[in-house]
Amino acid sequence: MNQADFDFIASLLKQTSGLVLTPEKAYLLESRLMPVARKFGFDDLDNLVGSIRSQPSNKKLVDEITDAMTTNESLFFRDTKPFEQLKTVVIPMLLKARSATKTIRIWSAASSSGQEPYSIAMLLNDMKVQLAGWTIKIMATDISNEMLTRAKAGTYTQFEVQRGLPIATLVKYFKQEGESWILDQSIRSMVDYRHFNLLDDPRPLGQFDIVFCRNVLIYFDQQTKAEVLARMTQVMANDGVLFLGAAETVLGITDKFVPLQGHRGMYEVAQSGASQRRTA
Ligand SMILES: C[S@@+](CC[C@H](N)C(=O)[O-])C[C@H]1O[C@@H](n2cnc3c(N)ncnc32)[C@H](O)[C@@H]1O
């Protein structure tokens, strides 16, 4: 692909999703966009890019290109620690703080193929005695329609269930059918999937007590990260908790969130004037 076409695709991607395509990632274009080219009847990437350059309003093609360029790597209980923190710190805190409404809303903001929201759902199901009488809502969103379809299906390969899932959890919640492992409907039905672009206004999604926004900000530039985080504060309860990925932080990006003292990877909305909460 020539430089002008590369620049065009990089700028299109930035505009549609915030994803930054650096020159070192140019090698990804061939493998990720060739299937899209073939699907739309083009022989090669030059023809695909030529078509989109002459018809930038072709939403279907733009969406497919964006979808193909997303990195969807995910695994169950990724990094373990955030899920332990959810169980031992955040849920106990909300059991006290929400005792009047007995409702907790959780958002998995880049849910990919569903491992993250389903890990949350399985964990909460394991706490069902403590959560009896409570309404727990889990919303999971992603920009990729392909990933949303996969996530809703709740069907995983042997390789996927071997990554991160304790064997007891696998046996408890999955059924094997041929080469696939199918997640129990009781867990699948706990998650409400929606298409959502993190560049958009999240307020129509409602208010959340817990947000998982993990391993997606890394693909954005500093300004986009700051804007996404700023919008997130608009849909978070004052005492809500944000989980970021292991390689992500708010530090140096925004002062709208502050780290939760003593809990790496967890953040709370910065309170103007009042002192920050300490849970450690
Ligand atoms: C690497 S996966 C992370 C999945 C999961 N959160 C985890 O930590 O395992 C990143 C996901 O972010 C999604 N994504 C990328 N840009 C997005 C955007 N602008 N809005 C919403 N989702 C986006 C991708 O489609 C992909 O599924």
In angstroms, rounded to a whole number, what is the distance separating the alpha carbons of residues 66 and 199?
A: 13
Of 139, 140, 164, 148, nearest to 76 by C-alpha is 164
Contact 250, 257 (CB under 8 A): yes
Pairs from 253-261 (Cβ < 8 Å, separation ≥ 24): 253/222, 253/225, 253/226, 253/229, 254/225, 254/226, 254/229, 254/230, 256/229, 256/230, 257/229, 257/232, 257/233
The mean per-residue pLDDT over the stretch 3-17 comes to 95
**What pLDDT score was predicted for residue 215?**
98
pTM of the entire predicted model: 0.95
**What pLDDT score was predicted for residue 278?**
56
DSSP letter (8 states) at residue 130 = T
The mean per-residue pLDDT over the stretch 51-72 comes to 94
pLDDT at 277 over 80: no
Other beta carbons within 10 angstroms of residue 263's beta carbon come to 18
Of 139, 7, 160, nearest to 72 by C-alpha is 160
In the chain the first and final C-alpha atoms are separated, in Å, by 53
| CA distances from residue 180 to 12, 118, 140, 155, 177 in whole angstroms, order as listed | 36, 16, 22, 6, 5
pLDDT in tens, 157-204: 999 999 989 999 999 999 999 999 999 999 999 999 999 999 999 999
Contact 174, 185 (CB under 8 A): no
Choose one of 107, 111, 142 to mutate for the ligand 1 pocket test, by most ligand atoms within 8 angstroms of C-beta. Answer: 142
* Ligand 1 binding residues, C-beta < 6 A: 17-19, 70-74, 78, 110, 112, 116, 142-144, 147, 197-199, 214-216, 245
Choose one of 112, 149, 229 to mutate for the ligand 1 pocket test, by most ligand atoms within 8 angstroms of C-beta. Answer: 112
258 forms beta bridges with: 268
**SS3 of residue 209 by DSSP:** strand
In angstroms, rounded to a whole number, what is the distance separating the alpha carbons of residues 131 and 140?
A: 20
